[in-house]
Structure 1
Amino acid sequence: MYVARLAGIVVYDPNGDQVGRVRDAVARMRPGNAPPRVVGLVVEIGVRRRIFVPIGRVTTIEADAVLLSTGTLNLKRFEKKPGEVLVLEDLLDRRVSVTEPGSDPRPGSVVDVGMEQERSGEWTLRRLAVRATPTHLGRRGHLRQVDWEQVTGLSDAAGEQGTANLLAVLDQMRAADLANTLQDLSGRRRLEVAGALHDDRLADVLVELPNDDQVEILESLGVERAADVLESMDPDDAADVLAELPEPEKDELLALMEPAEAAPVRRLMDYAAGTAGSIMTTNPVILLPDVTIAEALAAIREPKRSPVVAAQVFVSRAPAATPSGRFLGMVHFQRLLREPPSDLVGGVVVDDLDPVGPQTPIAEVTRQMATYDLVAMPVVDELNRLVGVVTVDDVLDHLLPEDWRDRDRA
């Protein structure tokens, strides 16, 4: 069983109840070049908590599930002990040399690690999938399976390590889960993996990290790349990240961003903390009143829109972007589903709920949203132009402790 294929599969207790998901395997190194013994799995349970499950508690490992012999587990947060390695974190992409009979050692990188169960019942890391370092530019090296004993460079704690294969394992994770994984990595490895992510993906992950990690990663990217990543964020998220930086760095990054991308971020940073303006989202779905119901539904089906933003549309006079023309009202997506596709959104607008202003305290915004069961509250300026909306997740992010994303606190 290759460990990369285990990542993300569900772990069940004997009653068939889901315990969590596999995130890595833990092995203990042995003297010389003997295959390491697998001592357990790292399993993610709930939100942002990873625990250690001893391999002796595992009864079955299948392609889509891991079955445990007991539902009683130690919920203490996993911490790697001296002499242990995390297979995916520490070994994937490791630069190694492969020695085969009758040939000189050949360089390559680890693509995956296979664990096998011995007759004694213990699991060991017996096989590795290693891709040879290409000898010609543009050609991929040959992929071969080799025994652990044929490979050198695996026990070197400071050995060179790439990121491609680990990123392939992490690719299907949600941004919040990937952020959680980054917090588990060593400082150097965390920066390497974060730096290898595409700008859009890194932007999504950064907003899920604690403030200190956000700053550390941004500073490691260099100002040009950091500005590109900030441009990939929603303006409210970019404003939150920039707020953690010293003034000179903040000003430099804003100057490097495209003016059209930097403008809404600057506006958000002008609002006082604790107000609707300081937490609002500036990219809601804004439509003109002569748009049809069918066109409105197409707008909220845009894959990149978050569910909370796509839950309703806001109707205004032109322009249909913040700051908009005169705000007319809003329509929840359930109402859109009930109306004929050819009707106009202007005919179904709800206009009897008073919007709030940018300086309205967050506590008042929260009370109004709770009173009227709103997913999002429109925010208008003194000219009755829509300048943003406060969503449920904006409010929750404010109400939770400032360090709620920090795994050390969970």
Structure 2
Amino acid sequence: MAFLDDEQSIPQVISRQELRELVRSQLEALLEQNNLQGAKALLVPVQPADIAEAIEGLPDAMQAIAFRLLSKAEAIEVYEYLDSSVQQTLIEEFKRQDVLDIVDKMSPDDRARLFDELPAKVVARLLTQLSPEERGKTALLLGYQPETAGRIMTPEYISLKENWTIERSLDEIRNLANVSETIYYLYIIDSARRLTGILSLRGLVTAQPDQTIGEIMVREVVHVQTDTPQEEVARLIQRYDFLAVPVVDTEERLVGIVTVDDVIDVLEEEATKDIYQLGGVQSGDDSYFQTNLLTVARRRVVWLLVLLITNTATTAVIRSQEDVLERVVTLAAFIPLLIGTGGNVGAQSSTVVIRGLNTDEIDIHEAFQVVRREAIAGAFLGLMLGIVVLGWAYLLYGNLAIATAVGASLVAIAILATVAGSALPFLFQAIGFDPALMSAPFITTFVDVLGVLIYLNLARVILRL
């Protein structure tokens, strides 16, 4: 019996990220060699989402070539996973009929999302060339406001009637399963298409064949309106662990469902937008390497210009206190330490509050309680940091009065920073703005100005200047 050596006997385990990168690099190498058969064979066992990522990582000239290697059925699935910028590029590369074959077979919600990104002329042309059924579905979704349940829902669902037997309902499911987004939830409607109940597939298959849907369905249905914000839909699905939630219009008629995969996209988009805003950056839909550097700079410069202007207030405060700094030059050495620490404390506080507001863990009616809690936390932080800084300042300069001024200022600045960092997001939400706009750079600048003012005035009092 032959034995493998140690190196051969240990399986090589690689992560999915490494696997995707391996597929991308091998695909690019095969295309460079013009080995189209080899590239096609390479993609056969790969999942559509991974194929999409591999295509996105290819040079622009190779993306269309790689996409054409896919079968029609696989191409439709892969296309839905592609970034919107790559989708637009492929549309420009394909012949008109190729585009129609793909776009017509896309799910309506994914098609509507694509049309949101395309130029209006292209959308108008594609709409007229879709099949009447798909054109109607797409027009329905595009008729709702962006970022609402109506815009992200799919009209492809299975509906049943209360008087149907289990046997008849199963026949209906068999007929519609291939054209429905999901079959795990079944929606019961009346003759006017109003939503009257819901039933899980498990409940259906475990019922007796001669029972009717009305006997086993759940009549209390959690649903949303077509104008419900998509973030609220996402939170609803997350709270109840739904796979989908029904969408009704103003007359309570069932018009579609929002599925969990669409909600995941919404949550990712919202988290990305909030992170950008917390960093003082305008968000964009394109990926990092696909964005022009001039566009990158333009998105970042807006907040930086605002902060540059507001930071002049810090300079004005320092100039107004020049007499104090002239008498005790040592005080100037601690200004960066104090405003830097204050900015960081404020940024921590605002981040916690903004995240709590976005996840509904914190409510605007709890503003006073939250601000008070953060102020107490700021006092503890200030005392701990202030004692350290007091000792450090005394060791450096041997002047207890200066060290006391620095330590006391840090306590006051920490309290100010936590109050500002927790209160300002509530203020923004109260006046109808996204709390994330009250970003860390803004909080930092606000604390810088008031922190310097507190520090130099406390020093004036303690040093009796």
Same fold per superposition (TM over 0.5): yes
Q: Which residue of 1 aligns with 2:102?
A: 229
- Give the drift of 1:225: 2.2
- Give the drift of 1:350: 1.4
What fraction of aligned residue pairs are identical, expressed as a percent? Answer: 28
- Give the drift of 1:259: 1.9
Distance 1:218 1:335 in 2: 44
Larger of the two Rg values belongs to structure: 2
Q: Which residue of 1 aligns with 2:417?
A: none
Structure with the largest fraction of strand = 1
Show CA shifts across 1:258-283 (max 9, x none).
Answer: 12211110111121112111111110
Instruction: Please show how residues 279-318 of structure 1 align to structure 2 within 5 Å.
Output: 279-297=152-170, 304=178, 309-317=182-190
1:345 maps to which of 198, 209, 213: 213
Q: Structure 1: which 5+ residue stretches go unaligned? A: 1-11, 22-41, 53-77, 79-85, 93-156, 319-323
- Give the drift of 1:346: 2.8
Residues 1:216 and 2:89 are matched in the alignment: yes
Residues 1:386 and 2:254 are matched in the alignment: yes
Q: Which residue of 2 aligns with 1:363?
A: 231
Structure with the largest fraction of helix = 2
Residues 1:19 and 2:14 are matched in the alignment: yes
Check whether the contact 1:293–1:343 (CA below 8 A) recurs between aligned residues.
Answer: yes
Show CA shifts across 1:277-336 (max 9, x none).
Answer: 111111012223344334545655677468x72221111235xxxxx7222221112222
Instruction: Please show how residues 73-88 of structure 1 align to structure 2 within 5 Å.
Output: 87-88=26-27
Secondary structure (helix, strand or coil) at the match of 1:374 reads coil
Residues 1:267 and 2:140 are matched in the alignment: yes
Residues 1:199 and 2:72 are matched in the alignment: yes
Check whether the contact 1:43–1:51 (CA below 8 A) recurs between aligned residues.
Answer: yes
Q: Call closer, same or farther: CA 1:224–1:359 in 2, change over 3 Å.
A: same
Check whether the contact 1:296–1:313 (CA below 8 A) recurs between aligned residues.
Answer: no
Secondary structure (helix, strand or coil) at the match of 1:243 reads helix
2:202 maps to which of 329, 334, 356: 334
- Give the drift of 1:358: 0.4
Q: Call closer, same or farther: CA 1:198–1:295 in 2, change over 3 Å.
A: farther
Question: More displaced, 207-216 or 337-346?
Answer: 337-346
Q: Which residue of 2 aligns with 1:91?
A: 30
Instruction: Supply the AA of the counterpart residue of 1:330.
Output: I
1:377 maps to which of 235, 245, 258: 245
Distance 1:164 1:14 in 2: 32
Number of equivalent positions: 270
- Give the drift of 1:212: 0.6
Q: Which residue of 2 aligns with 1:238?
A: 111
Check whether the contact 2:21–2:54 (CA below 8 A) recurs between aligned residues.
Answer: no
Distance 2:288 2:199 in 1: 38
Check whether the contact 1:329–1:350 (CA below 8 A) recurs between aligned residues.
Answer: yes
Distance 1:13 1:50 in 2: 23
Secondary structure (helix, strand or coil) at the match of 2:183 reads coil
Instruction: Supply the AA of the counterpart residue of 2:29.
Output: D
- Give the drift of 1:14: 8.0
Residues 1:187 and 2:60 are matched in the alignment: yes
Q: Call closer, same or farther: CA 1:293–1:311 in 2, change over 3 Å.
A: same
Q: Call closer, same or farther: CA 1:316–1:303 in 2, change over 3 Å.
A: closer
- Aligned Cα root-mean-square deviation (Å): 3.3
Instruction: Supply the AA of the counterpart residue of 1:397.
Output: D
Check whether the contact 2:234–2:267 (CA below 8 A) recurs between aligned residues.
Answer: no
Distance 1:266 1:342 in 2: 40
Question: More displaced, 184-193 or 263-272?
Answer: 184-193
